[in-house]
Structure formats: C-alpha cells, structure tokens
Amino acid sequence: MQKLDLVAGATLAVDKPLTWSSFQLVNKVRKECCRYLGIKKLKVGHAGTLDPLASGVMILCTGRHTKRIEELQAGRKEYIADIRLGATTPTFDRESEPDTHFPTEHITPELVVQALKRFVGPIDQVPPTFSAVKVDGRRAYDLARKGRDFELKAKPIVIDELELLECKLPDLKVRVLCSKGTYIRALARDIGQALGSGGYLTDLRRTRVGDYSIDQCITLEELEHFLHEQVMTLEEAASCATN
C-alpha cells in the first residue's frame, strides 16, 4: 500500500478520546504530524465535531484534502448512545447535573420500542440551547451560559435507523443512523418526552461517518507508529514527485 503524503493531502480517521474537544484532537494530530515531518505548519481540518463527552470517529483532512470536508460532512453518521430516562439536564447530557425529575414507573420496553418508531424518517428537531447553532450571529451556548432567553428553530433532519440495543430501565442503549445536523442529545430529550418522562445522554460513541467506521480509526496511542509506517517523509514525497 502506498504511503500517505500529508503535505499534498490525506484523509485520516481518528478515534477521538472521551473528554477531548475536537479542537484539542486536531491540534494534537497536527503537532505530531509536524514533528514527524520536521515542519512547522501543516493544514489540518476536520469533517464534523464531537462533543467532549462523546468519543469515536472523527475525520481529519490535511493539505488539499481539506477541500473534501464538505463532502465528508454530508455522509451518514452512526452512533451508539446511552440514555437515562426520568430526568433532564440543561445541556441534555452529563456535562450538567439533572435539574428536573420525572416518573418512569409507567415505562415498559414495549412503550420504548413504540416511541422510537416515531423518530424514524424525516423529522424536525430543535437543537439544544447549549450548542454551536448561531442566534443573531452569536453561538447559542454563549447566550445560554450568560442566562439569556432565546428560542431555537426546529431544523429538518433524517433518522434512517433507530434501534434499541438494551433496555434496562431507566437506562436505554440505542443505535442511531442519521443525517448531518442531528443532535443526539436533543434526540435523548425528545425520546424522554415521547415516553411521558424526561431523558438525557449519559454516553455517546460515534461509530461511523460515511464510509469510515470505528474499526478503521487510528487511536492517539497508535498515532506515532502509524506515522512512521504509513506516512511519507518529505524526502520520500519529493522522490515520488520526481519519478
């Protein structure tokens, strides 16, 4: 297999660790790539962020491959999500503490299966208030953290598949295959509401972006070895260009 030329352009699938921001991951990969190549700058971009409390597939593009970012972002995404029923949090995940509690005694596995069916197909979803959606030019999360009142408009998304993997009430584990722009945190909220309760995300792992699956991803622990084994040095790239 031909080695990758990061300066000319390459696409990498990386497994983002839990608690890392997407920005931190890009910086780490850029730093390690520059150190391996012996250069000070390398163009690196990502095709879709992941929240710090989510892990899994992130697509990074270098060099001219950054022109592919829009195309890659449009790919279908698959997630494995853990949802806790019976409460909500301001951020719809574990980043904040539960602020409202709801009954769950009436919920059965059969009710859960029926509720999930309502979300399959084209739907309108209201993004979380703690999100990067812009409101009058400002990020929603900035306004939310300052206690500002504002309303976000529902956006059209598509959920192709929504499969119940485990039901250990009040906890659910689901697999979601969805379009760009889907907020799994908001889906957790909406599933809770559909069940006459509340819901928030307790764990999220992205397992696929387009054609890139989690088993194709490089972990940060593997990055140094990957660079030495799969990436051209500047000398190797120059040699290839002259042949």
Query: Hey, which residues are catalytic here?
Result: 51
Give CA–CA dist 192/189, Å, rounded. 5
* H-only helix segments in 169-219: 184-194
Please state whether beta strands 199-209 and 54-63 pair in parallel, antiparallel, or not at all (unpaired).
parallel
Q: Buried b vs exposed e over 19-31: b needs ≥16 C-beta within 10 Å?
A: ebebeebbebbbe
Close Cβ partners of 217 (under 8 Å, ≥ 6 residues apart) = 13, 14, 15, 56, 57
Nearest to 173 by CA among 106, 99, 98, 112: 112
